[in-house]
Amino acid sequence: MYVQSQLPFLICLPYAGAGPSVFNTWRPLLQDSVQMLQPSLAGKEKRFAQAPLRDTVAQVTDIAAQLQEQLDRHAETPVIVFGHSLGAILAYELARLLEQGSATRIVHLVVSGSASPLLKRRGKATGLSDDEFVREVESLAGYTHPALANMDMRGLLLPALRADVEMHESYQHVWAAPSSINITCLHGKHDQVVYANEALQWREVTLGSVDFLEINGGHMFWVDEPALLIPTIKTIASNLDVQGVKDAA
């Protein structure tokens, strides 16, 4: 039975090169709406000493293993999975695993700054020299991380960033049938990395509903204004509460 007082889980997966702490500013803003889960990633933050993963399947398997015990203990609690750019692809793969693993769990996928997983990523930075790689990534992402201008910091950050970029560029969609998950797709109006028609193709990976929302800004619109997505996530969480109550009746 669905327990109304049990807030939905929100699993947050970051963009290439970032760690789970990029979502820390969301916690106080969402504490009354969701239970935030920020999986650790090999090669970043508290797992910095570990070799970063370069394969989508390995990364999603690692993420799922971290979450399994908590999700199993609350099998009727709805789950929202959010991801931006590379994180959106990981979120999609994780949502499909969760969908497969439970016939009753409500899963809602929120993808941001990402083309449909059916499309190959445009551009290629894997294998370039450090300087060429940084320039290409900044061009592809439409975003310049100030730490990459510092040679010492660059040496620390590049291994994980290179692994993420390789993961994104080598990703291949393998699911034979569409999902039934409901999706909210967020796209920056001025995004020059992912075009609107590429984001709209998320509609082809599910038989569920797909809401397409254009947000004022570029590819990294919510990074510059972290609170921008809070109302959207609160609305989704509230709707899952209502859906859960209906399903439990």
Residue 3 in any domain: the answer is no
pLDDT digits (tens, 9 = 90+) for 31-73: 999 999 999 999 999 999 999 999 999 999 999 999 999 999 9
Q: Is the pLDDT of residue 3 over 50?
A: no
Top pLDDT among 196 and 129 is at: 196
pLDDT digits (tens, 9 = 90+) for 113-127: 999 999 988 778 788
Residue 117 in any domain: the answer is yes
What is the domain count for the chain? 1
Residue 145 in any domain: the answer is yes
Residue 165 in any domain: the answer is yes
Structural domain of residue 237, as residue ranges? 9-248
**Highest mean pLDDT: which range of 55-64, 92-101, 187-196:** 55-64
Q: Is the pLDDT of residue 183 over 50?
A: yes
The arithmetic mean of pLDDT across residues 215-237, rounded, is 91
Give me the CATH number covering residue 33: 3.40.50.1820
The arithmetic mean of pLDDT across residues 92-118, rounded, is 90
Residue 129 in any domain: the answer is yes
Contact 241, 37 (CB under 8 A): no
Residue 34 in any domain: the answer is yes
Radius of gyration of the chain (CA): 18
Among positive and negative, which fits the CA dihedral 23, 14, 17, 72? positive
Which band of pLDDT confidence, cut at 50, 70 and 90, is reported for residue 181?
A: very high
Sequence-distant (6+) residues with CB within 8 A of 190 are 216, 217, 218
Q: How far apart are CA 10 and CA 25, in angstroms?
A: 14
Residue 115 in any domain: the answer is yes
Residue 4 in any domain: the answer is no
